[in-house]
Amino acid sequence: MQEDTVDSDADRRSFLTRLSVGLAGLIGAVISLPPIGYVLSPLVRKPPRKWRDVGSLKQFPMGETKLVQFQDASSTAWAGDTAKTGAWLRRTGESEFIAFSVNCRHLGCPVRWIKDAKLFMCPCHGGVYYQDGEVAAGPPPEALARYPVRVVDGNVEIETSPIPLTTNDVA
């Protein structure tokens, strides 16, 4: 009789312990899952790409490389200047252009076009690229990334794109 009471008391305690721990876990999950999903939502919600007008054909002399600026695809109302992206736009033909991302392929710093040397140079770790974007010197593992570019009704348009990431994934 005595034994039974002790046993059932122990059962009751262990059941209540498990119940409370389980319920506390449930509370934890319910209050933390929505915030985690909210914080990670930019990973799933990809903004649609947009074509941005960066100027008329005649602003870009043949063979020259000029800095153009355009708005990102996902500009929030409060982003202001931070929603801008730059690109080095090089005219290679009557209606042919190359739009280089300004991000160095080493660690993403903004490369500068050195007109007289016909080189792109990065201020961070000294990456250098030729005018066609190929690596000329320094640590960058890849050529400068390019944005899609087109000419519509005499205007040059660049398609918004994610920041080019140099990954180690096999393409």
Partner 1 sequence: MNAIKSILRWLDDRSGFSDVVLPMLRHVVPDNARWWYVFGSATLCAFMVQVISGIALATTYVPGGEAAYESLLYITNEAPLGNLLRGMHYYGATAMVILAIIHMTQVFLHAAYKYPRELNWMSGVVVLFVVLGMSFTGQLLRWDANGVWSVTVAAEMAGRAPVVGPAIAHAILGGETVGGSTLTRFFAIHVFVLPGLIFAGIGLHLWLVLRHGISEMPNPDQPVEPDTYKEDYESRLEKTGVPFWPIAAWRDTVFSVAVMALIVGCALFFGPPALGTSPDPSDINANPMPDWYFWWYFAILSMLPPELETYVILGLPVVGLIGLIIVPIWSNKGDRSPSKRPWAVGTVVFGFTALVVLTIYGYKKPWSPDFGVEPLPAQLVGSSDPAIVHGAQLVHQKGCMYCHDVDGYGGHRGPELSDIGHRLNRADLIIRINNGGYNMPSFAASLTAAELSDMVAFLQTRTNSSRQVVSDSTGAAAP
**Candidates 2-10, 20-28, 146-154, 157-165 — which segment interacts with partner 1 by CB under 8 A?**
157-165
Q: How far apart are CA 121 and CA 73, in angstroms?
A: 27
Verify binding: residue 59, partner 1, rule CB under 8 A: no
Question: What length does the chain have?
Answer: 171
Q: DSSP alpha helices (H): ranges in the chain? A: 2-44
Closest contact distance (angstroms) between CB of 152 and partner 1 is: 22
**Candidates 13-21, 25-33, 40-48, 143-151 — which segment interacts with partner 1 by CB under 8 A?**
40-48
Interface positions, 88-107, toward partner 1 (CB under 8 A): 102-103, 106-107
Backbone angles phi, psi at 72, to 5 degrees: -60, 165
Q: How far apart are CA 126 and CA 107, in angstroms?
A: 11
Instruction: Pick the closer one to partner 1 by CB: 68 or 97.
Output: 68
For residue 155, what are the contacts with CB-CB under 8 A and spacing of at least 6?
Answer: 53, 55, 56, 57
Verify binding: residue 62, partner 1, rule CB under 8 A: no
Instruction: Pick the closer one to partner 1 by CB: 83 or 143.
Output: 83
Verify binding: residue 79, partner 1, rule CB under 8 A: yes
Verify binding: residue 121, partner 1, rule CB under 8 A: yes
Q: How far apart are CA 160 and CA 171, in angstroms?
A: 21
From residue 104, give the alpha-carbon distance in Å to each of 4, 43, 111.
75, 23, 6
Q: List contacts with partner 1 (CB under 8 A).
A: 39-40, 42-43, 46-47, 67, 69-70, 72-86, 102-103, 106-112, 114, 116-119, 121-126, 128, 130-131, 136-139, 141, 160-163, 165-169
